[in-house]
Amino acid sequence: MDELEGLYRSRFDIFTRVAATVTGDSERARDAVQEAFATALRKRRSFRGEGPLEAWVWRIVLNAARMDVRRSISAIGEDEPAANGHPERDAELRMALARLPERQRTAVFLRYYADLDYAAIGEALGIRTGTVAATLNAAHAALRSRLEEART
């Protein structure tokens, strides 16, 4: 089995879950992931092997999801049911995540939704591992602050 096909089959749900956090819609996320893999297939000869194939695909998936958002601005998950039974807290968290700068928001999604390690996140975002740590630290601090503000 081709490595790209194997990645598609084994990680499609994770790619889609992260794309959904970017697009705000699971159907649009599936479309973005499928579009991303079609792009990866068309451009597979441009993959130079300087990093993991998965990191290269993550960049393509994130770009496809961002392009979808640019084409059609939508709210992040407003109509989705609460995952933990606390709709108020879930809405606060979604709003706080949406207010993060794009790189922080993407790093959070890759870490907690895709379960990528710092090295893989760095590869996907084109930044150093230390920058990933600093980006996540800043995101955590901003989220903590915004969630505390919302509760007061």
Number of domains in the chain: 1
Length of the chain: 152
Give tens-digit pLDDT for 94-114: 788 888 898 898 888 888 877
Q: What is the dihedral of CA 107, 52, 37, 5, to 10 degrees?
A: -130
CATH number reported for the structural domain that contains residue 7 in this entry = 1.20.140.160
Yes or no: say if 120 and 54 are a contact pair by the CB < 8 Å rule.
Answer: yes
Write out the two tokens for 43.
Answer: 């451009």
Q: Write down the pLDDT at residue 125.
A: 83
Report pTM. 0.56
Q: How confident is the model at residue 90 (pLDDT cuts 50, 70, 90)?
A: low
Structural domain range at position 103? 3-151
